[in-house]
Amino acid sequence: MKDTYEIAVVPGDGIGPEVADAAVRVLRGAFGNDCPLRFCDHPAGAELYRQTGESFPQATFRACAQADAVLHGAAGIPGVVHPDGTEAGLDFTLRLRFELDLYANIRPIRLYPGIRSPLADVKAGEIDYIILRENSEGLYAARGAGAQLRGEMAVDTLVQTRKGVERIVRKAFELARASNGAPADGVRRVTCVDKANVLRSYAFFRSIFDEVAADYPDIEAEHGLIDAMAMYLVTRPGHYNVIVTENMFGDILSDLAAATIGGMGLAPSAEVGERQGLFQAAHGSAPDIAGKGIANPYGTVLSAASMLEWLAANHDDDRLARAASRIREAVSAAIEAGLISRDLGGDSGSALITQGLCERLR
Ligand code: ATP
Ligand code: MG
């Protein structure tokens, strides 16, 4: 346990500063006068690149590496690119992921009471699972290992290492063990999602999953093929507890899953490694609605709650765990009371939602 925790806040672009500000207000609100978090803002992103020619200053990187946790809004503006064509702003997340080895991307998918799911007949509480996306290898890791040949052909490489697969699978079983199990039957279950019937890299992933699963006899282990899983997350979402999968499959499945709980605006994300964690909503910078006061802050607020839980576990600090559950309760209560943003079909603005959360935390 520490007296104070340093939180590096990187607001970024578009709605990033709006949702980051909302999350900081809610975090402060959860602790009242005795806040053990110290926030410090740091610049990064496409707007910064436009102004200074630099999208991720070394000073910001250092601050993120040294802080106890990093809270991020969102970064990137379509069309603002580096000379090599890569998006200015995207490098923020990618560099932190790879250089700080944030190998586990934890994406909780939970349907809140008061939110209408596009799935017919599904009730709140019936969707409550975690997608654990491998964040450091797979098809996205070896971007340098691909090739484009004379405008005629392009190749990318899917990399799975024993160490990389083992640690993500182990994390999945630990998350399942700490959970309440799947909503449908209360069974603690890990589902390995792959395409092992076609591709050897996925067969390798699955074989390591089976080895690790043997160490967790108390947790049910099962396999799912990615194509079937896209169907099952629609037809029987209540069956799932923890889903573990390769980088790109996790990327795709988590957008599908976010749609089933109301949309990207509600989907939180935590990217953690052995020493550092990056917390941001699953959505991007949504430049189309920036500055209008209508951005949905719930995704970032829920990511901030995950940040508290991660810090609480790492530092054995119950104060932070209690604050996290109070924030989650406030989110549930606010949504149920009708504080719903436009992207979710309501008409509450960001300020009203943030104020509503802070009032409930008092
Ligand atoms: P990225 O490439 O960074 O993932 P993206 O192109 O997928 O970005 P997002 O920025 O995630 O796009 O958002 C897509 C659209 O969804 C936005 O243009 C916006 O209209 C809506 N949206 C996303 N996040 C929110 C939010 N927090 N509140 C309200 N609407 C949102
Ligand atoms: Mg996106």
Q: pLDDT tens, 72-112?
A: 999 999 999 999 888 999 999 999 999 999 999 999 999 99
Give the predicted TM-score (pTM) of the model.
Answer: 0.95
On whether the CB atoms of residues 247 and 135 are closer than 8 A, the answer is yes
For ligand 1, atom 3: residue with the closest CA:
284
Q: Do domains 1-103+270-362 and 116-260 have the same CATH topology?
A: yes
Q: How far apart are CA 49 and CA 260, in angstroms?
A: 35
Q: How far apart are CA 28 and CA 35, in angstroms?
A: 6
DSSP secondary structure letter of residue 137: S
Q: Is 326 in the pocket of ligand 1 (CB under 6 A)?
A: no
Quick check: 143 pLDDT over 90?
no
Q: Is 282 in the pocket of ligand 1 (CB under 6 A)?
A: no
pLDDT at 145: 64
pLDDT at 84: 86
Residue whose pair of structure tokens reads 């209560």 in the numeric block? 333
Quick check: 153 pLDDT over 90?
no
Q: From the candidates 227, 292, 318, 347, give the one annotated as an active-site residue.
A: 227
Burial class of residue 157, CB neighbours in 10 A (0-12, 13-18, 19+)? middle
What does the buried/exposed string (b/e) look like for 332-345 if buried means 16 or more CB atoms within 10 Å of the residue's CB? bbbbeeebbbebbe
pLDDT tens, 3-51? 999 999 999 999 999 999 999 999 999 999 999 999 999 999 999 999 9
Quick check: 179 pLDDT over 70?
yes
pLDDT at 115: 94
pLDDT above 70: percentage of residues in the chain: 99
Quick check: 182 pLDDT over 90?
yes
Pairing relation of β-strands 268-272 and 104-110?
antiparallel
Q: Is 285 in the pocket of ligand 1 (CB under 6 A)?
A: yes
Q: Is 121 in the pocket of ligand 1 (CB under 6 A)?
A: no
Domain 1-103+270-362: CATH architecture, name and number where available = 3-Layer(aba) Sandwich (3.40)
Residue whose pair of structure tokens reads 């392009």 in the numeric block? 154
Q: For 111, list phi and psi in degrees, rounded to 5.
A: -90, 120
Q: How far apart are CA 92 and CA 50, in angstroms?
A: 15
Give me Rg for the CA atoms of the chain: 20
Quick check: 144 pLDDT over 70?
no
Q: Which amino acid is at 315?
A: H
Quick check: 302 pLDDT over 90?
yes
DSSP secondary structure letter of residue 117: P
Q: Is 264 in the pocket of ligand 1 (CB under 6 A)?
A: yes
Quick check: 142 pLDDT over 90?
no
Q: How far apart are CA 339 and CA 362, in angstroms?
A: 17
Taking the CA of 74 as reference, the closest ligand is: 1
> ipTM exceeding 0.90?
yes
- Give how far Cα 151 sits from Cα of 143, 146, 155, 266, Å: 18, 14, 12, 40
Domain 116-260, classified CATH 3.40.50.970, yes or no: no
Chain center to CA of 194 = 20
What are the beta bridge partners of residue 280? 269
* Range name among 36-40, 132-136, 143-147, 224-228 with the lowest pLDDT average: 143-147
Q: From the candidates 41, 195, 232, 317, give the one annotated as an active-site residue.
A: 195
Q: From the candidates 5, 103, 129, 140, give the one annotated as an active-site residue.
A: 140
DSSP codes of every residue in 13-70: STTHHHHHHHHHHHHHHHHTT---EEEEE---SHHHHHHHS-SS-HHHHHHHHHSSEE
Q: What is the mean pLDDT of residues 159-183?
A: 97
For residue 284, how far is its CA from the centre of ligand 2 (angstroms)?
A: 6
Which mutation among 72, 91, 93, 264 tests ligand 1's pocket best, with the greatest number of atoms within 8 A of CB? Answer: 264
Which mutation among 86, 91, 252, 289 tests ligand 1's pocket best, with the greatest number of atoms within 8 A of CB? Answer: 289
For ligand 1, what atom is nearest to the CA of residue 14? Answer: 10
pLDDT at 185: 97
pLDDT at 140: 85
- Give how far Cα 28 sits from Cα of 21, 23, 36, 253, Å: 11, 9, 9, 33
Cβ < 5 A residues, ion ligand 2: 284
Alpha helices in the chain (DSSP H): 16-31, 46-52, 58-66, 90-99, 162-177, 200-213, 226-235, 247-260, 298-315, 318-336, 350-361
Q: Please state the domain extents for the chain.
A: 1-103+270-362, 116-260
Q: Angle at CA 9, nearest 5°, toward 8 and 11? A: 155
For ligand 1, what atom is nearest to the CA of residue 286? Answer: 10
Instruction: Classify residue 186 as left (phi > 0), alpha (psi -120 to 50) or beta.
Output: left
Q: How far apart are CA 154 and CA 321, in angstroms?
A: 47
Q: How far apart are CA 240 and CA 189, in angstroms?
A: 7
Q: What is the mean pLDDT of residues 317-335?
A: 97
Q: How far apart are CA 241 and CA 220, in angstroms?
A: 10
For ligand 1, atom 7: residue with the closest CA:
284
Which mutation among 105, 283, 341, 344 tests ligand 1's pocket best, with the greatest number of atoms within 8 A of CB? Answer: 283
